[in-house]
Amino acid sequence: MITLEQLRYRWPKHDIDTIHIEQLQIQQGERIFLFGPSGTGKSTLLGLLAGIHRPTLGKISILNQDLTSLSNAKRDQFRADHIGTIFQNFNLLAYLNPLENVMLGCHFSTLRTNKAVQQHGSVKQAARHLLAQLGISEPLLHHSVGELSIGQQQRIVAARAVIGKPELIIADEPTSALDADNRAAFINLLFEQATQCNATLLFVSHDQSLAPMFSRQLSLAEINQRDEKV
């Protein structure tokens, strides 16, 4: 599903590579817990996989598509079609209600729109269905997202990430603002959604207590060589 080969990424003005991974393979449907000390490059790696950053060297292939051979516009389209993202800062649009925020997950992708329409008749119905599954009740759908609790906002972000069934879900510390009970509940929700989409889940967290819930634990320190000077 994901193959990395000789992947290197160096931020401008840095004199070492933040990411140097010789080889990594992730299979469809795996639930990966990616961990490592702060500043070791977890978010950088997620940005590379999401096609937000372009590798300095090497190859990233997702669903047999070599991301490195795509133009910026095509990489953006690939992300919109195949990758659901959940980032720390949520990126919800404050002036839209929960339903509209979830529908945004399909906005840039005909592929995901078609999947949502096929399953639920319309993107709006798909968003409604997901929010109901995630416990966001009907009256909340008409509030602006800024009026909702952090836990509710996280569920909206999760719904936006999975609407239209993307094959890969990338989550960067999505549970850092939650207490232990809500953290486990949120991850279970994410697993349920990933199972329904047959999606691969790549989840970054510092919280080692969550690691056993996942099918594979990946230490960035172990796979990343971060050697000096190329």
Contacting positions for ligand ATP (CB under 6 A): 11, 18, 36, 38-44
> Which residues share a beta bridge with 83?
168
Supply the minimum distance, in Å, between the C-beta of residue 42 and ligand ATP.
Answer: 4
Supply the minimum distance, in Å, between the C-beta of residue 171 and ligand ATP.
Answer: 13
């997950």: which residue's tokens?
A: 105
Supply the minimum distance, in Å, between the C-beta of residue 43 and ligand ATP.
Answer: 3
Q: Which residue, 43 or 182, has its beta carbon nearer to ligand ATP?
A: 43
Q: Which residue, 41 or 84, has its beta carbon nearer to ligand ATP?
A: 41
Q: Which residue, 126 or 220, has its beta carbon nearer to ligand ATP?
A: 220
Three-state secondary structure along the chain? CEEEEEEEECCCCCCECCEEEEEEEECCCCEEEEECCCCCCHHHHHHHHCCCCCCCEEEEEECCEEHHHCCHHHHHHHHHHHEEEECCCCCCCCCCCHHHHHHHHHHCCHHHHHHHHHHHCCHHHHHHHHHHHCCCCHHHHHCCHHHCCHHHHHHHHHHHHHCCCCCEEEEECCCCCCCHHHHHHHHHHHHHHHHHHCCEEEEECCCHHHHHHCCEEEEHHHHCCCCECC
Q: Which residue, 53 or 75, has its beta carbon nearer to ligand ATP?
A: 53
Burial class from Cβ neighbours inside 10 Å (0-12, 13-18, 19+) for residue 54 reads: middle
Q: Which residue, 93 or 221, has its beta carbon nearer to ligand ATP?
A: 221
Supply the minimum distance, in Å, between the C-beta of residue 125 and ligand ATP.
Answer: 36
Q: Which residue, 44 or 200, has its beta carbon nearer to ligand ATP?
A: 44
Supply the minimum distance, in Å, between the C-beta of residue 159 and ligand ATP.
Answer: 24
Supply the minimum distance, in Å, between the C-beta of residue 145 and ligand ATP.
Answer: 24
